[in-house]
Amino acid sequence: METVERLIRSTQQLLWERGYVGTSPKAIQAAADAGQGSMYHHFTGKAELAKAAIERSATELSAAAEEQLSGPGTAVERIARYLQRDREVLKGCRIGRLTADPDVMADPALRAPVEVTFRRIRERLAEILAEGKQTGEFPATLDPVATAATVAAVLQGGYVLARAANDDEPFDQAVQGMVQLLQGVAL
């Protein structure tokens, strides 16, 4: 694997496990098996490399979401598949956890891919929910934009509850409860 690629993947992994504040250039170099000179040859510093790593994670997560959301079935079925797909729950969300990182939130270049990822997923969910209204699956009173935010929030909050409990169970329950509510309001 090329050095640039190793640097990006190592940074993705370290950001997931340690966060931005907890990830040092030295740790990245060690994990990527790259020298300091090599890292600064390819990137101006930790911030630029982190930006590349966050953008890569964002692209990967969006693609994974689209796999479930673009599949066959009703709106509830597609959203249920998205919520219930296999996840490394206790590791948390690679993108969502960055919102707890003050240095990521304070840097517009680092926050941008985080913002875009969540905006896109909410827009995509709202699209599917609006389709469900059009096909008569949901009542006319359902608010696709608000409900989409709720679905996205359940996932992110489920990670928080699971990590707090050091157990997948609250995540599974939160997702289960969400699917049941969507089934409950479906006509």
Q: Which residues bind its own copies (CB under 8 A)?
A: 17-19, 21-22, 92-93, 95-97, 99-103, 105, 111, 114-115, 117-119, 122, 139, 141-143, 145-161, 163-166, 170-171, 173-178, 180-182, 184-185
CA distance 45 to 41: 9
Shortest reach from residue 166's CB to its own copies, in Å: 7
* Cβ-contact 57, 47 below 8 angstroms: no
Cβ closest to its own copies, residue 1 vs residue 64: 64
Cβ closest to its own copies, residue 3 vs residue 62: 62
Tell me how far the alpha carbon of residue 144 is from its chain's centroid.
20
Cβ closest to its own copies, residue 25 vs residue 157: 157
Count the Cβ atoms, other than its own, within 10 Å of residue 179: 19
Shortest reach from residue 98's CB to its own copies, in Å: 8
Q: Taking the alpha carbons of 38, 40, 46, 49 in that order, is the dihedral positive or negative?
A: negative
